[in-house]
Amino acid sequence: MADLSAQVQEPFDLVRLSLSERVFVKLKGERSLVGVLHAYDGHMNMIMSDVEETILLVEPEEEVNGAGTVQTVKRQLEMLFVRGDSVILVSPGAR
Amino acid sequence: MSASPPQDQAGASAGTVGTPADFLKGVIGKRVVVRLTSGVDYQGLLSCLDGYMNIALEQTEEYVDGAVVNRYGDAFIRGNNVLYISAMESI
Amino acid sequence: MASQILPLELIDRCIGSRIWVITKGEREFAGKLLGFDDFVNMVLEDVTEYINTEDGVKKVRLQQTLLNGNNICMLVPGSSGPEDA
């Protein structure tokens, strides 16, 4: 990706430059989205399409070896409204 | 978001140069660590931020329990999740 | 009522000295207070972050740091932190 720093004067510029692009969105509750960003507002409410949602299910299980099992669930969503208050991070140029 | 950005009101406390608004001005372009209330850390170059502590980071590395778990070329972090922004070099 | 002092006036008098910040979560901070605003966002210098976990207290050293006022619960003026209490 080209050096965006000159065009980014406030954090929302980064999001504005990602309109119509695929973005990665990290949400509260161990969820993440990859999809095309169509619209957003000052709350970071977003409209996304062609979305793949990934949900991380961490099951505590017996604490014998400490680590619980991690299971991921994926699903496809055609068109999505995301409420801004659950957004943690938005990164352009999603993998 | 009903509250107005802090930098509009900074300076209400004394005339010192150490207010949050001064920090925000000085920290741009510096390497920072941004810690979220969840405990997740983001290290990167701070390209800009606003009064809500919304942040745009470059060369971002995401740390969970001290280990890098993700890298992002650019990242927008929504300010409500931010616990602190700490400069990794002097301002 | 002339001697009434506002809470933030007290904190204003702490600028330049060390302060102990206790957050809503399992974290505390101690450092020199450089400034703050009406939201009690605070700029600290020479900071120690104390993370209270089940395995004890973890300490992290930080340089100049802007603390989001959203998560701040209590302030202890003039204290160097939990180890000073």
CB contact under 8 A, B6 and C37: yes
Residues 43-82 of B with CB under 8 A from A: 47-50, 54-56, 58, 60, 72-78, 80-81
Instruction: Give the pTM.
Output: 0.82
Distance of CA B40 to the CA centre of its chain: 13
For residues B3 and A35, the model is more confident at: A35
With an 8 Å Cβ cutoff, is C52 touching chain B? no
Ordered structural domains, chain C, with CATH: 7-77 (2.30.30.100)
C2 CB contacts (<8 Å, ≥6 apart)?
A: none
Beta bridge partners of A24: A34, A91
Comparing CB atoms, the residue among A8, A43, A91 nearest residue B47 is A8
pLDDT at A63 over 60: no
DSSP reduced 3-state for A81: strand
Q: Report the phi/psi class of residue B28: left, alpha or beta, with left for phi > 0 and alpha for psi in -120 to 50.
A: beta
Chain A residue with minimum CA distance to B52: A11
The phi and psi torsions of A39 (rounded to 5 degrees) equal -160, 155
With an 8 Å Cβ cutoff, is B17 touching chain C? yes
pLDDT, tens digit (0-9, with 9 covering 90-100), for B32-90 = 999 999 999 999 999 999 989 999 999 999 999 999 999 999 999 999 999 999 999 98
Domain ranges of chain A: 2-92
**Would you place residue B14 in the very low, low, confident or very high pLDDT band (cuts 50, 70, 90)?**
very low
**Average pLDDT in the C29-52 region?**
95
Instruction: Specify whether the CB–CB gap between B49 and B55 falls below 8 A.
Output: yes
Element (H, E) at A14: helix A11-16
Q: How many of the other CB atoms lie within 10 Å of CB of A72? A: 10
Cα–Cα distances in Å, from A16 out to A12, A29, A45, A92, B24? 6, 25, 13, 10, 22
CATH assignment of A2-92, among 2.30.30.100, 1.10.1530.10, 2.40.100.10, 3.30.300.180: 2.30.30.100
pLDDT at A89 over 90: yes
pLDDT, tens digit (0-9, with 9 covering 90-100), for A21-34 = 999 999 998 999 99
Architecture (CATH level 2) of domain B19-87? Roll (2.30)
In total, chain A counts a number of residues equal to 95
pLDDT, tens digit (0-9, with 9 covering 90-100), for C68-81 = 999 998 898 888 88
Instruction: Specify whether the CB–CB gap between A30 and A56 falls below 8 A.
Output: yes
Domain ranges of chain B: 19-87
